[in-house]
Each structure stands twice: as C-alpha cells, then as structure tokens.
Amino acid sequence: MLLASNAAKSYDAAANSRRIRNMGPFPTMSEANSASTPSTDKKSVLIVGNGGREHALAWKIAASDKVGQVFVAPGNAGTAIDATNVPIEASDKAGIIKFAKEKAIDFVVVGPEAPLVDGLVDDLQDAGIRAFGPSAAAAELEGSKVFCKNLLRNANIPTADYQTFRTASDAARFIKDRYPDSNQAVPVVIKADGLAAGKGVIVCSTREEALDAINRIAGVREFGEAGNVLIIEEKLIGQEASVLAITDGETIITLPAAQDHKPAYDGDTGPNTGGMGAYCPTPLIDAEMMAKVERDILVPVVHAMKRSRRPFRGVLYAGLMLTAAGPKVLEFNVRFGDPECQPLLMRMQGDLVDIIEAVIDGRLGEVEPPGWDERPSICVVMASEGYPGDYEKGRQISGLERAAELSDVKVFHAGTQEINGRVINNGGRVLGVTAIGNSISAAKLQAYKAVKEIRWQGAWCRKDISDKALTDAK
C-alpha cells in the first residue's frame, strides 16, 4: 500500500511537492551509491554537462551552505561565472572519474541523457564515487523508446497505441496499407527509438509527411543509429504537460508540473526541438490531476522498473498528453528536463543538496520535500539562426550584463563559450532567459524584457512562451 506523508495531505499541485513513501517490497537495491559516507565539511561537487539544465543545477547547488566548490565538466560561459569549468567532455568517462578522484569530489550529478544511457553513473559507482542519476539499465527508459513503450504496455500504464518497425520499407508499407487514400488524414507520430537530442519525434498529418518522416529516420538515417528501430504511434489529442519526480526507488517526491514548448515556432508550429521554453507551474495540472498522474503513472512505472530488475534512482520526467480519457504518457526522460529545470529551480526553496544526497544514499523518505516560491516562473530559450537545423557558431553575444541587472531574472547559459573575454554562441539553444513574477503574465513580461537586452547576429526565440497558461486561466 502506498502512503503519502503527512506533509503532503494539504497538497497544492501548483505550488508544492508531494512525497509518496513505503512503495512496497522490492528486490534489494544496489549499495554502490553508498560507497562513501557524506562528510560534514564543505562539499566538492562535480556536475557533468554543458547545457542550461547544468547551469541551473550549478547555480542552485552552489547556493547550498553545505557546498564549498562546484565544478562543471565541460560547462559553458555561464557556469564559468557560477562555478568552475573543467575541460572534460561529458562522454569522457575515464577523464571524469580521474578528476573526481583527484579532487576528492563528494558526489557527481550527471545532467544529460547521453552519459546516463552510456553508463557513467555505473562506472562512477564502480570507482567508489557517489553519483546522482540512474544506472545504464534504468536509463534505457529514455534511451530506447521501444523499451519504454513495451514497459508501459506491460504495466498497463496509459500511453498511445503503437507499432515498432526495423526497416523503412516495413514501416512505409504499414502506412500505405492502413491509409490507402493518399488524401486522407494520417494522424500519427513517427519516433526514432534512440536518443536524438529531442528532434527524433515527428508529428504527421498526411501520408506524405509520414512517409517522409520514415525515410528521414530509418531510410537516410538523419539521426544515425537512433533510427535502427522506429515507432509509429497514434497521435494523441490534448494539452501537453511535464511532471518531474525525484525518487530513490522507495520514495517519490513529485515536483510542480511544468509545460514545455517543443515545436520551434509560435503557435506550436514547425519541427520539434529540444524545447524552446517552459513555465511552472501549469494550471493544467491541479491537485486532482496530479494525484491521478502519481497513482496511474509515476508509482506504477517505478514498480515496473523494479520488477524488471532496473531499480530507478534519480529524476523521472513524465512527458504527458492530457487527453479526454485522462493523462497518457508520451515519453519518459531520466533526468531534469531542459528547459523545465530552469523555472523549477528558480522557484525551489530549500537545499537541493539534501535531496540529491538522500537519493544517492537511498534515504529519500527521511528528508522533507522542498518548498516552493508561490510565484510562477518562465524560461524563454534564445536560439541560433537556423536551429533546429544547421546554424553558425562563433557570433558574439552582447547585453548579458544589462539583462542580469533586471530584477527577478536569471540568464542560464547553454550553447555559449567564452573566448578572450567575449561570449559567443556555440550551440543551437544558446540561452534560457528565466524570470519569476507575481503572475504568469508578470513573469513573461520580465523574461521578454531581458530577452530584448540580449543581442547576437541571427538570435531568435518564440514570442508566445506561457501563453497557454494565460489562455487556460481565462
């Protein structure tokens, strides 16, 4: 039987966390994460990654009075301000382990999905280094959409109907047989099985679009080995929302719901991206809906992972479609969302380090859930010209200091680099301009005020981040 903590009984989904404990008997969890005992001295922390998520984590962890130094590998121009960058790529497992040992790092936080799927947490644990994040086996929940869909189906967790295919020809034949009229609507979503930086999901409306998506993923292999297998699933109708939870496999702390904006352009048009902005909380998820998400999705998936001998510790990110039949899972990620992490951490009160260490040590049930600033937050992503396609790097960014001077604003860096005192763009998604305000509209006004201060050649962003919240509130 699942028991909610007393602290959660007056739960307000828009503002607070909820803790679910006593998740029942499971196989014994690996003790590798408990290889060393936390010190009472100031801690040294290493964060792996170079995105906006990692900048937000570095900023929040550095604010802890328990932490003396934060390193980020490899980091960006923003983490160089709030922490200390280390020139080690996230894919360099040997380099990360060597650095962690040399600097007596107390724990490592692995931000991006790729090193998680590649087993960095496992290797750190094997080396006696405490690490926050799921094992490679558990990270397959994001690393393989086929694995995720099969797990959801076997656990009776609501998700879209789907078929899997190993060749482009078989997938194309399925579309042509199921939709013989070239003019009829084809409401499907084509997905690459593996990691594709958030771009391997193509929403289709016509047969031509579906066949083109199949060719891109499994024919010309636009996303490389991620397209070795593809999924064709029904297109769900409703509003999208993101619910993140932190778990040690025995206790779940759900975080306030957020809403991402995946399509590149205003009005949710254009190709999918890694995320063009987010706001938190979203009025789409009230207390009743959050309880349903916990009961029907979060708790069952943690149970299912345990049954499959893949116990999960870390951040579970449920990408949901809120349909007329209830919430259904679009995908699971195994780390903080980017850009959802930025507005979440802007609102989080309390010490994130306490929660991270409790997860690592398997004692999440002993810590209080974090509090939350009642004010909403919004993150607007500024991107390079051409993103999510090809884009130019090396363009100098100006106005960062003016934006930073605005009240209730934090500019989180992603694809940036500092060279000879100049900050340049070095990626597709460049900055996450994040603001907090007394209302969604106030937070939006402040975020876009900061956006207007920042300039580089070809910079662009969506102009409608959080407008869905304003519409839903009417």
pLDDT of residue 41: 86
pLDDT of residue 442: 98
Domains and CATH numbers, the chain: 3-26+237-371 (3.30.470.20), 32-137 (3.40.50.20), 161-234 (3.30.1490.20), 377-472 (3.90.600.10)
CB atoms within 10 A of CB 111: 29
Which secondary structure element, helix H or strand E, spans residue 407, and what is its range?
A: none
Angle formed by the axes of helices 145-154 and 299-307, nearest 10°? 100
Token couple for 336: 């903080």
Strands 43-49 and 18-21 come out as: unpaired
Peptide bond preceding 388: is omega within 30 degrees of 0, i.e. cis? yes
pLDDT of residue 40: 59
0.85 surpassed by pTM: yes
Residue 307 makes CB contacts below 8 A (sequence gap 6+) with none
CB 415 within 8 A of CB 80: no
pLDDT of residue 470: 80
pLDDT of residue 38: 44
Write down the H helix ranges in 281-392.
287-293, 299-307, 341-347, 352-361
Instruction: Give the closest residue to 8 by CA, choosing from 17, 367, 285.
Output: 17
> Could you read off the pLDDT of 51-86 as tens digits, one per residue?
999 999 999 999 999 999 999 999 999 999 999 999
CB 124 within 8 A of CB 138: no
Instruction: Give the closest residue to 47 by CA, choosing from 103, 118, 7.
Output: 103
DSSP 202-268: EEEEEHHHHHHHHIIIIIS-TTGGGGSSEEEEEPP-SEEEEEEEEE-SS-EEEPPPBEE--EEETTT
pLDDT of residue 11: 31
pLDDT of residue 473: 52
Q: With a cut of 70, list the residues of the chain below it in pLDDT.
A: 1-16, 18, 21-40, 472-474
pLDDT of residue 23: 52
Cα 423 to Cα 409: distance, rounded to the nearest angstrom: 19
